[in-house]
Amino acid sequence: MATKKTGASGKAAPLEPKVAGKLLDKLSTDNEFRRLFKKDPKAALIQAGYKLPKGDAEAAARFEHLCGCAKVKNIAPKAAIIKSRDELKRFLTSELGQQPHRLDAGYSEGKPTLRSRK
């Protein structure tokens, strides 16, 4: 199952660690996958191993929200994703804060940054 309950709040973690790892592996090595992620984050997440929830409207809504947050204008360079992999994986597998984040790449001294959606 791609979502799981975490913490006292009961909020779902966006990605299983295995899916987050495969997503980051592909984003840091595979140009075709990077193009797919930019064009259709939902298809890219499914290709990375995300299992669509069946019969769970709440989980499906969370997945749709996650896909919306995953839309990017520019993807960080492969080397930057590799360098920040551990930080990105922690973000993708942990409970999200009150403000949704986007995986859009910003750059600060050659390091990708995650921008909050306002």
pTM of the model: 0.70
- Which pair of tokens denotes residue 26? 């592909």
pLDDT at res. 101: 47
pLDDT at res. 116: 44
pLDDT confidence band for 117 (50 / 70 / 90): very low
Segment 16-24 long-range contacts (CB within 8 Å, at least 24 positions apart)? 16/49, 16/50, 16/93, 17/89, 17/93, 18/49, 19/45, 19/48, 19/49, 19/50, 20/88, 20/89, 20/92, 20/93, 21/89, 22/48, 22/49, 23/48, 23/92, 24/81, 24/85, 24/88, 24/89, 24/92
What is the residue extent of each domain of the chain?
12-116
pLDDT per residue as tens digits for the range 22-58: 999 999 999 999 999 999 999 999 999 998 878 888 8
Please check the confidence at residue 6 and state whether its pLDDT lies above 60: no
